[in-house]
Structure formats: C-alpha cells, structure tokens
Amino acid sequence: MTIFGIDVSSWQGDLDAGRLAGEGISFGVVKATQGTGYVNPHMAQQTRALRDAGCVVAQYHFLELGDPVAQAEHYLRTADLTVPCAVDVEEDPETGTMPTWDEVVAFRDHVAGRVPSVGLYVNPSDYRAFGAPDLAGWGWVWVANYPYARTNTPKALYDLAPEWGWKPLGGRTPDLWQFTDRASVAGQNMDANAFRGTRDQLAALWGTKQTRKETTPVTEKVLDYSRQYVAQDTDYFCGPASCQTIIGEETGHYPPERDLARELGTHKGGTDWIGQFPAVLNKHIPGAGYVSVGMPSDPPTREQKERLWRDVTSSIDAGLGVVANIVAPPSNYPKAVAPSTQSPAYAGGTVYHYIVIAGYAEDHAGRRFWVADSGFRPYGYWCSFEQMATLIPPKGYCYATRQNEGDNDMTPEQGAALHDAKIAAQTAHDRLDTLERKIDLILDQLVGPERKADGMPAFTGWKPNGAFPGTRGLPLVDYLTRTLEGRK
C-alpha cells in the first residue's frame, strides 16, 4: 500500500482541512523555521488543518550555512515538539550556499531527544556532494527526486514512475519520496510525497501517535427539501429557485419561480443583490425573521467567517435554509468534499450565482456545508466551509433569525400529523405548479413571454386589418383560416 502526503510552507498559505481529507491526503510536513530567525506565519494553522484532516504530521527546519546549534535552539523554541522534525538540507536559493555535513549532523544531534524523531530531507545530487555519508544515525530519510515535470493529482503523477525514487542512498532505501513539486492538491500546486505503508506504519516510523479522529460526524444536519424543484427554470432564475427551495421545504408549497422572480425584482440580468431576499422569504414564511448580511472583506476576516458559520448553523437548526450570493472565478469553482464525489459543473468564466445552504456538518475533516445548487449538476453537494467563506465575499447571504423551537413542543402524534399534512399539501401544490407551468408555456407560445407589472400578458391583440403584408387586406385570423381551407 502507498499513501500520499504534502509538504507546505508560507507559499501555500492557510490549508483547507475538508479539501485535504476529501482528496485523500494522509500525511503532511509543515515548514516551521529557517536559519536563526525565520518563522512560517502559517505554521500553526497548517499543522492544525492537517491534523483536522486526519493526517500524520511532522514539521521541518530549513538549515542554512552557519551556527547549527543556534538554529536548533530557534527550532526548539518555535516548533511543535510533539511531532517529528525533518532537517531540510538543500542549496539556499537566495545565497547559493549550503551547510556542511558536520553542521547537518550537529543540528540533528542537538534536536534529538527533544522531538519524537529526526529525519533528513535531501536530493541525490546534494547527498553525493556531501561525499555520500553514512545515514545510519537518522530516524528516517526523505528523498527529493522528480521523474517528470507535469501537473496532476498526486496518485496520477506517482503512477507514471512508481519505482523511480526508491533507489537506495548509501545502502539505505528512502522512507519517504518527494516525487513532484506540481501536484494539484486542494486547489493549489504543491510538493507531493509517497510512503509505502499505512498511516499507522508512518506514525510508528516517526515515533508519533496517529492523529486521525473518528469519522463519525460530531454534528450533521441537512434539511429535508424536495430535490424535484432545485433546478432553475431559466439561466437567470437562480434567485427565485433558491427562494422556492427554502419556502417549499418549510411550507410544503413551492411557488412558481416566475412569481418569485416578480416579487424579487429579478430581470434577465439576474437578481441584483442579497438584500432583496428577506422581504420575499418573510412574506412566504411568517415569523422566519430573515435578514441579509454583507461580507465586503475579500478575503473575509476571521470574525466574518465565524459569524457566517454561526448564522448558517442557527438558521438550519431552526429548520430554514440560507441563501448565499457567490462569486466563483474559474480558479475557485466550488469543489465537492467527502462524502460527496461529484463537483458541480461550473463553466464559462466567473460565475455570479445564488445557492441555498441547506445543511452543515463538523467532524474530523473540518466544517462543511450542504449546497442545493439550482444552476449546475448534480444540484447538491458538500462544500467545505473554508471554500464557501471565500466564495461569498464581496457579496453576502440571507439567513433566518427564528429560534429553534416549535416542533419541540409537539407531541409525537402532532408531529406525525404535521408531516402528513405537509406531504399532502406538497402533492397538491405539485399538481397545481405543473398546471401553471403548462399554462405559462401556452401563453408564451401564443402571446409571447412579456408581462405587465400585475403579471398579465403585455400582448394587446393582433395587428389591425391590412397591417400584415400579403394578407390581401384581411384580418390575419381570417386570412389564415381561408388559406387553410383552400388547402383542403
């Protein structure tokens, strides 16, 4: 068995635990320090995200030419000493220098015993430049050796040359192999690594505990909305469709999107802003207390993100979905995370869209939202909270302030009766909605789609007698009737 992991530094920024878990990343090594003063500003978040994703975790120090003991002390003051330490030995891209082998060993010996284990990161060329020294004193060896300069998932790249990097160094087979710096992981290109074994075996090699948590969600709730009505009727009805999903789930009645579009003020360019939704939702769901919230900071502040999570979860706990206005450039199209397997089929440049957040979960993989997406197949998927928090700015969302109460006061018999009534109401309204759609289609074909403010057709009648060329002065209907009779 071969498992795959990543190594990261400040270049990757904050990591998304949900996406890492969803893409099968099993371990990770985080840059902690360099030289005697540098600290990776994302070290704590990256380490936490990897742990939350169920990964086995280590950290590393980039060793510079100079005092190895001072560098070791800097690492010991800064890093997480409950995880293994890797000594990154390579040419400094800024100075073109490398530490001596004696300095490498001195750093290792000073750190040893203060961390679970110490490993060596090196490439074959640099190892030979050191004179191919004995590696027996190292807890584990991590070699960098790239067979191809391509971009793909870690497994796809590894499968191109699965034996390439396992050649012995100084008689010792590498324990880890860094086989690319172009793996596509969690929306970024980064280093990817392979380990021949399981997570537990890697944890044993590193002398650390397996950090993976139970896979059972700590919390999960998804609203029981009808999947039949999610898809929107037109290219620009994502706003009305989102309202329809929320209203239908709560009331059992699914108002036609055309009516909701009129209430929202939707036009062929879409629905202008999130502030148009509260009045419509509160009209159809009395007492819901829907309000809109803007997220102007892009990226959002930590406070904005925490409020988003709090508002969404409280709304869903009260049984009411949330409308979110998202902006998705091609580099940040929504990506499904486990247990979903199919991402929505976004395309065509930057997508400006309204979706419904209809569920949430929080477990070992982090936080995630269930999305009812009217515009793109498969119309429903889990999206990580971290990505959703990047999709909403600079727009906003609309959530319900109603408290989670009501059904809790019912007896089981009353709850069952309410459920049966909702099903019966939904069936009746399904039939009515189908009839209304057919009538709308007939009207569109007969008199065109234009409507007055009151919803009535804007059509004012056929053009007067003689206005149509070739009718020989007859009204159009008479002309058509005689023409058809003449063909009998």
Q: Which of 162, 90, 165, 99 is nearest to 125 (CA)?
A: 90
Q: Residue 344: what are its φ and ψ, rounded to 5°?
A: -65, 150
The 10 Å CB-count burial string (b at 16+, else e) for 182-205 is: ebbbbebebbbbbbbbebeebbeb
Strands (E), 239-365: 290-294, 322-328, 351-363
d(CA 252, CA 424): 8
Q: Which of 202, 241, 242, 221 is nearest to 50 (CA)?
A: 202
**Segment 10-39, tens digit of pLDDT:** 999 999 988 898 899 999 999 999 999 999
Fold of the domain spanning 2-206? TIM Barrel (3.20.20)
- Three-state secondary-structure class, residue 378: coil
Q: Looking at the predicted structure, is the pLDDT value of residue 213 above 60?
A: no
Strands 396-400 and 290-294: antiparallel
Whether the pTM exceeds 0.75: the reply is no
d(CA 449, CA 442): 10
Superfamily of domain 219-405: Cysteine proteinases (3.90.70.10)
**Segment 287-325, tens digit of pLDDT:** 999 999 999 988 888 788 989 999 999 999 999 999 999
Q: Which of 11, 26, 291 is nearest to 154 (CA)?
A: 26
d(CA 99, CA 103): 6
d(CA 183, CA 149): 10
Q: Residue holding tokens 């869903």? A: 316
Q: Where in the chain are the domains?
A: 2-206, 219-405, 460-488
Q: Which of 461, 458, 460 is nearest to 475 (CA)?
A: 461
Q: Looking at the predicted structure, is the pLDDT value of residue 430 above 70?
A: no
**Segment 145-193, tens digit of pLDDT:** 999 889 999 999 999 999 999 999 978 999 999 999 999 999 899 999 9
Number of alpha helices (DSSP H) and beta strands (DSSP E) in the chain: 14, 16
Q: Which residues touch 28 (CB under 8 Å, ≥6 apart)?
A: 5, 6, 7, 8, 20, 46, 50, 55, 56, 57, 58
Q: Residue holding tokens 């560098």? A: 71
Radius of gyration of the chain (CA): 31
Strands (E), 63-200: 85-88, 118-122, 140-144, 176-185, 188-196
Q: Looking at the predicted structure, is the pLDDT value of residue 135 above 70?
A: yes
d(CA 389, CA 383): 10
Q: Looking at the predicted structure, is the pLDDT value of residue 341 above 50?
A: yes
d(CA 289, CA 166): 61
Distance (Å) of CA 119 to CA 91, 132, 275, 442: 18, 16, 55, 74
d(CA 339, CA 370): 11
What's the pLDDT score for residue 481? 64
Q: Looking at the predicted structure, is the pLDDT value of residue 415 above 70?
A: no
What's the pLDDT score for residue 227? 84
